[in-house]
Structure formats: C-alpha cells, structure tokens
Amino acid sequence: MTETSAAAQPPSGVVDLLGLLAYAELVSFFRLSDAAGLAPDLAAKGELAGVAATEYRHYRMLHERLAALGADPEAAMGPFVEPLDAWHGRTEPRTWLESLVKTYVGDGIAGDFYRTVAEHADADTAEAVRGAVSETERAEAVAVRVRTAVQEDPKLAGPLSLWARRLVGEALSQAQLVAAARPELAALVAQGATGGESGEGGGKGDLAAVSRLFAGLTEAHSARLEAMGLSG
C-alpha cells in the first residue's frame, strides 16, 4: 500500500515544472492574442493568431498531463502566477516590434530551459514538455518579421538589441527567485545543470547549479539575435 501511494504521487519538482510551464503557456496565449490585434497588417495578424492558438493547445496538453499525474493543475500553477506576472510587468513591450522580440527571445530561452530540465523527469513528462516548447516555423515567422523591419529601418537594430538583452537579464533574475522559493524545482533544475547529478549538498548548491544552467543557456541568445537581424 505504501508503494502504491508513493507511486501515485508525482515528484513535487515535476509538478512544479509542469505547473510553471502550463501557466507560462496560458499567459503567452493571452499576450500573443493581444499582439495579433496590434499587428499592422492582416498577414501578421493571422500569423500571430496561429501562434497564440498553438500556445493554448500546449497549455491544455500540460493541464491534462498534470491531471494524469494526479495533481490539481490550478494548484500546480498557483505558485508561479505572481513571479511570472511580475516578470511580464517589468518587461511590458512599448511597441509591436518589442512584443515580437519578447516572444522570440523569451520563449526561446525558456524553451531551452524547460527541455534541459525535463530530460530528468519521467519519459511522459519529458515528451509533454518537448511538445509544448518545440520551436517550429511559427517562431521563425516572428524572427522574419523583426528582421524585415530592421532591414527597412536599420536604426531599430540598436534599441531592439538592448531590449533583447534586458529581457534575458530579467528572465535570469526571476528564475533565480523562483528556484529559491521552490527547492524541489531547484533540485530538478540542478540535475539538468549537472547532467543528472544532484546539487552539491542541496540548497545553495542547487541554486548555484541553476545559475550555471542559465549562464549556459544564454549562449543560444546570440543565434536568436542574428536570426532577427540584431547584434549582441
């Protein structure tokens, strides 16, 4: 009976990971819907509406995965509402192009993070996470929109590059705060940072591993900037 009960309870770090990602996808759906409404032409509106619809589909998939694990999806998302809303509040785009850069850069680095950490969860959870954060032609369409705008007006490159760097810095700071508040999630992240080894002594060791993981993830940032026609 004890073994059955234990098997029925998913690791809290896995529930945290799925809850964090599920809420991130839900917020992304709303924000992309808003961005689609502000798009300058019908083609752009349609592209962003399609991205928003995909984000909602991902949210439903993660919601169902949480339920399948026996977790309450809304309760799992609850701890991450305030920190994610705070990050979005500090990185509110002022223009349509800034919203596109935020979508491409923010979703990209977050996707790298989730994929890395999910490799140390169970196979079904890892598959659900990979499906939710997969970068496809939809993301490339966003990059093309920014690149085209910069080619038409090169003066946009500098401000948008600064904006992209700010987004990454804010994301790293917020991630460290979340990890400090959710030690089970930090332990799972530490495994992603060390290739499966637990953090050194837990606690501060896990948080140090979180910092190292995110430092490594920023290496892909330069490639994303180049894809948008921006410079580091």
Is the pTM for the entire model greater than 0.75?
A: yes
Q: Is 71 inside a domain boundary? A: yes
Q: Is 194 inside a domain boundary? A: yes
What pLDDT sits at residue 20? 92
Q: Is 30 inside a domain boundary? A: yes
Q: Kindly give the interhelix angle for 107-118 and 123-133, rounded to the nearest 10 degrees.
A: 170
Q: Is 128 inside a domain boundary? A: yes
What pLDDT sits at residue 206? 63
Q: Is 116 inside a domain boundary? A: yes
Are the CB atoms for 151 and 48 separated by under 8 Å? no
What pLDDT sits at residue 1? 38
Q: How far is CA 50 from CA 36, 109, 128, 166, in A?
A: 9, 21, 20, 27
Domain count within the chain: 1
What's the domain range around 172? 11-83+94-227
- Digit-coded pLDDT (tens) for 29-46: 998 898 888 888 998 899
The two tokens of residue 83 are: 């920190």
- Digit-coded pLDDT (tens) for 79-133: 999 989 988 999 999 999 999 999 888 888 878 888 888 877 788 888 888 888 8
What pLDDT sits at residue 199? 46
Q: Is 1 inside a domain boundary? A: no
Q: Is 155 inside a domain boundary? A: yes
CATH code of residue 46: 1.20.1260.10
123 vs 97: CA distance, rounded Å? 37
Q: Is 88 inside a domain boundary? A: no
Residue 158 has pLDDT above 90, yes or no: yes
